[in-house]
Structure 1
Amino acid sequence: MSLKHSYTLIAPFYDALIDRATRAARRHSLAALPATPGRVLLAGVGTGLDLPHLPPQHRYVGVDLTHAMLRRVGPRTGAADFAAVQGDAQRLPFADASFDHAVLHLILAVVPEPARCLGEVARVLKPGGCALVFDKFLRRGQRAPLRRLANPLLRRVATRLDVVFEDVLAQTPGLRVAHDRPALAGGWFRMIRLDRE
């Protein structure tokens, strides 16, 4: 089953499964967006669960693979300067250095090629910009046998359980870790700020 097809089927239930569990972490992550107004990419915007927590001074562009997810964004836009674009976060339809900052919430562990996704974000970020990552990652050398056992099935339906962030970052020149903090589930979910050099 393709990712696009899976998330078209999941879209009606996504908020009920994800919203409450991730709301506080999303709010905390988004508070790290710089105060100076800029253009911000929301890669994998989904149903727009980040939108109620976005600082109002920025202009936002949200990209998602599926129309079914983007259709649910509308009621959440409020007064935000927000534009939705259907597209692939692994092949962003934007010019180099066209965003001041980027938000990657629950996307790197979903896409089939997380290094390609992060590389695309690095490409569209201006030097001096930042990328805010919130997702679930294994650490290098972490055994996590149950996650690894469930991964072959879950990666076909909704998400990967085997992504090692450090391995993804190692394939993405131009980004450096500014901070990395545990967020949920005993540190399985992490909040990471990356700065574009």
Structure 2
Amino acid sequence: MPTGVAMRDARRQLFDAAERILLRDGPHALTSRAVTTEAGCAKGVLHRHFADFDAFLAELVLDRIARLDGQSAALRAAAGTRTVPANLAAALTELFDAVAVSIVGLVIFRDDLRTRLRTAGSTGVPLLTEATAMVASYLTAERDLGRVAPDADVETLAPTLIGAVHLLFADRGRANRGSGAPETGAVRKVVLTVVGGVVRGT
């Protein structure tokens, strides 16, 4: 392993290495040695940037959550276009890629990581909680436009939809890691099952 070579944007390279490991081998394979080996750097590089491995994992999760800001903005901007189920199916397929599903598994698997994330302000199951807020915000926008029934219980529909779609992707991911994403039709079917009753013009 190279030890004297400066890494440009070491944090980003370490995060990218961790995501490749999650994609290829799953949460159980994610160790500090595996990350630095994958990144092609000395183990000490990780500890120069993070207090310990759990701190690294917490920042990895928070980095992934931060990416939701752009996805959430794009979904809200889509309100009033295409159909509600089509918009939701596309957004949730983008959200639940194999890395995101693995990160949720990582959070569930590691108690210390959940504790750190709660200390950082995360609630519920990190990533899923923020994804729920994204869907709730979009459904509210569509309700304001009249494409979702005015009495629709958005606060119940959003977590129901996130939970159902996450299970769909997690199940396929276990069966065929990295290439087992469900077909668009399967995602749309789940979306229609959850929100079809309140959507106008599906």
TM over 0.5: no
Structure showing greater Rg: 2
The higher relative CO (CA closer than 8 Å, separation ≥ 6) is in: 2
Relative to its length, the structure with more helix (as a share) is 2
Report the structure, 1 or 2, having the larger strand content.
Answer: 1
